Amino acid sequence: MIRLATIGTSTITERFADAVAQTPGIRIDTVFSRDAARGRAFADKLGVAGASSDLEALLASGDIDAVYVGSPNGAHAAQAQMSIAAGVHVFLEKPATPTAAEFEALVAAGRARDVVVFEGMRNVYDPGMRRVAELLPEIGQVRLASFGQSQYSARYDLVLAGETPNIFDPALAGGAAFDLGVYPLSALIHLFGAPASVAGRMVTIATGADGAGAAVLGYPEHVAQVSFSKIGFSHRPNEIQGELGTIEIDEITMPRRITLSVRGGAPTVHEVDGAANNMVYEVARFAELVRGEADAAPDQQRSLAVLRAVEAIRAA
């Protein structure tokens, strides 16, 4: 049994805990929060016995095998480094770290200590994404892909009122690229590998964070478009266009309806029966890696390629 501790008391940590509860061979034993009372209340809410307000002591206790880092983005690297130094496996909520260099350093440190360093990116482990990959040969040579994720954030209303919520705080590595843009980027890189080139532009909002953005990713035989926004919304489908046909994906974060249209034929719809909380698939993958049943290197290389793509867009 993999004994897990969580860092963070947000809604995403609750969703993670729900996914863990559905996954055999792994359980949450302890909740960490710098605020002891808040941590105890969150542990009670999750039905977890242990609560700690001393991360260093928790990591050194020998009571946990792995830690879930669900704190604000800017805190990920330091907390992960502490965990690795203690020989504790690390599950990082996306984005793994604010920079590619930080993630590279964590991966290297993890290898030196025989510790798994993993970024949770739920859509690439979803069975819907696997179905997309299976259908790719049906459309022949891919020439164009267009993926996006836009969802208006109620917290942008706070920005308009003059406030700086965490999700839009550049000091905490907030912004649309890390919150939403990583989903279409991860899907593209999962399906087609790291791009040869990235060119993009961000929309900067009053806090100094990015509220929206778009990019073109270049591949040897095709190009891909990516868009993302937390200050607007879209119902545009995600598409992969090949010389023989097109694949349309309903939702890039959780593909459940995939439409294949082959030139000259009628469209066929592929419904995917997947979990309502598709974090279960990334949790299962992490458990597999911790047990030594697979190599984490491909997962880490994809995460690194996504971070490099975000950096390239921001540098434009």
37 CB-near residues (< 8 Å, 6+ apart)? none
Position 16 scores a pLDDT of 98
- CA pair distance 205, 212, nearest whole angstrom: 9
* pLDDT (tens digit per residue) in 10-55: 999 999 999 999 999 999 999 999 999 999 999 999 999 999 999 9
pLDDT at 316: 77
What is this structure's pTM? 0.96
Domains of the chain: 2-120 (3.40.50.720), 124-274 (3.30.360.10)
